[in-house]
Amino acid sequence: MKKHLEGKVAVVTGSGRGIGRGIAILLAEQGASVVVNDLGCSVDGAGQTAQQADEVVNEIKAAGGKAVANYDSVSEFASAKNIIDTAVKSFGRLDILVNVAGILRDRMIFNMSEAEWDAVIATHLKGTWNCTRHAAGILREQKSGRIISFTSTSGLYGNPGQANYGAAKDGIAGMTRVVARELGKYGITVNAIAPVAQTRMIASVPRDKQQAAQASRGIVTPKASAASTIGEPDDVAPMVAYLATDAAAGVNGQTFLVNGGLIARVSDPAPARTIVKRTRWEPEELAAQFPRTLGLDVPNPAPPKPTA
């Protein structure tokens, strides 16, 4: 088998477990030297241990690959710099950044605390920006690079109970579109993956609720639902490795949904239907026009409960 990432150096944040782990291992198999970054905290961000990152590094080395562990937090600007610097110090360069690190603190908006909001925004949104910011200078100078960030159907479509996570993840989708347009001309691509996989993060949500939510959003294809709906975390890695190859140089600013063997390119938001007037609208005429134009057949995703 030909290795497609020979000589490349990759940083994979949050790669001690779950989806990140599968990516680190596959990138190493493909010949990349990998910085396995993981803070080793619990799913809600508490506690820290070096164990997860070390185990993945050992696994990669045992299989003949090259890897070093890093235990820094992505959510602090300075410690995120350490993660990127580890790649340069250990392997002399940086080619690929994969932003996977994340935590969950689910709560309905009317009960969510400031701390729950801040922690999730800091890890996902600031964490992705921190690592991207520190990598951007290096990649721009060498005029090549691959950045792959992680968004979520929670942000793209809206999952109840995840105002923090949905905001962070749709924010990452926006960041990806912006940074793709900033760095593309320097030979760098920036793309996003929305994974659907059974990890410890998603394991806390009851299964049938997940399926019902997905079906209501129309994202379950007949084939995929027959294949039990939720993919394995390791199913996500091949698409990430593909995006990291030289051959994927033309793929930039895109978002891909990966669920098991189903991979889809997701459209950017775009105007779907438009109404135009020569002069300013009056709210009253808009109220008359709206239901038969912009609002036609657009369901309320959570209609009011009928009063008894």
Residues in region 57-116 near other proteins by CB under 8 A: 77, 108-110, 112, 114
Residue whose pair of structure tokens reads 């993060």 in the numeric block:
201
Number of other residues whose CB lies within 10 A of the CB of residue 271: 5
Nearest-approach distance from CB 37 to other proteins, in angstroms: 19
Among 99, 123, 162, 198, binds other proteins (CB under 8 A): 162
CA 2 to chain CA centroid, nearest Å: 28
Nearest-approach distance from CB 306 to other proteins, in angstroms: 10
Our finding on whether 205 is near other proteins (CB under 8 A) is no
Among 58, 132, 51, 134, CA closest to 98: 132
Q: Do residues 40 and 200 make contact, with C-beta atoms less than 8 angstroms apart?
A: no
Task: Indicate the pairing of strand 66-70 with strand 96-99.
Answer: unpaired
Per the structure block, which two tokens stand in for 182? Answer: 């900033």
Q: Do residues 74 and 13 make contact, with C-beta atoms less than 8 angstroms apart?
A: yes
Q: Where are the alpha helices (DSSP H) in 143-221?
A: 153, 163-183, 207-216
Nearest-approach distance from CB 102 to other proteins, in angstroms: 14
Among 6, 208, 292, 302, binds other proteins (CB under 8 A): 302
Our finding on whether 235 is near other proteins (CB under 8 A) is yes
Q: Which is nearer to other proteins, 42 or 221 (CB)?
A: 221
Nearest-approach distance from CB 270 to other proteins, in angstroms: 5
Q: Which is nearer to other proteins, 13 or 252 (CB)?
A: 252
Q: Which is nearer to other proteins, 39 or 257 (CB)?
A: 257
Nearest-approach distance from CB 108 to other proteins, in angstroms: 5
Among 9, 10, 25, 26, binds other proteins (CB under 8 A): 26
Q: Which is nearer to other proteins, 61 or 261 (CB)?
A: 261
Nearest-approach distance from CB 119 to other proteins, in angstroms: 13
**Which residues from 168-197 bind other proteins, rule CB under 8 A?**
168-187, 189
Our finding on whether 133 is near other proteins (CB under 8 A) is yes
Q: Which is nearer to other proteins, 30 or 53 (CB)?
A: 30
Our finding on whether 125 is near other proteins (CB under 8 A) is yes
Angle 163-183/127-142 helices, nearest 10 degrees? 10
Our finding on whether 204 is near other proteins (CB under 8 A) is no
Q: Is 71 tagged catalytic?
A: no
Q: Do residues 154 and 166 make contact, with C-beta atoms less than 8 angstroms apart?
A: yes
Buried b (16+ CB within 10 A) or exposed e, 23-49: bbbbbbbbebbbbbbbbbbebebeeee
Task: Indicate the pairing of strand 96-99 with strand 145-150.
Answer: parallel
Which amino acid does the sequence have at 142? Q
Give the residue numbers marked as catalytic.
165
